[in-house]
Amino acid sequence: MHESIGQLVTSRAGRDRGRPYLVVGVLDDRFVLVADGDLRPVDRPKRKNMRHLVFHRAWAQEIRQQLAAGKRPGNADLRRALAALVAEHFGKERGTDEKPEVQGG
């Protein structure tokens, strides 16, 4: 099994820039398959160039084990694991009731 399976990644390019995903498959040395269980379900993962991703030092072990066993995890499992990793890795998420930062003068 490839070392990046189950790893938390963030898109750095494309219209999904800034969106977190989990790696659910590796196509070759340039492309991986990512899913978030919401907009990108497990049965329809997105093919992303590795250069367009930021790889974080966090892995969803339960998703990794399911994929290693040849099972496809459910979308709810993927969302739960992704939310836990994002909360752990990035800290408290910014709430929607907070005002955006003022830029400029």
pLDDT by residue (tens digit) across 27-60? 999 999 999 999 999 999 999 999 999 999 999 9
Classify 76 as helix, strand or coil.
helix
User: Class of the 7-89 domain?
Assistant: mainly beta
pTM of the model: 0.82
* CB within 8 Å of 86: residues ≥ 6 apart: 8, 20, 93
| Burial classification of residue 91, based on how many CB atoms lie within 10 Å of its CB (0-12 exposed, 13-18 middle, 19 or more buried) | exposed
Q: In 3-state terms, the chain is what percent helix, strand and coil (to 5)?
A: 25, 25, 50
Confidence at 90, pLDDT banded by 50, 70, 90:
confident
What are residue 70's phi and psi, to 5 degrees?
90, 5
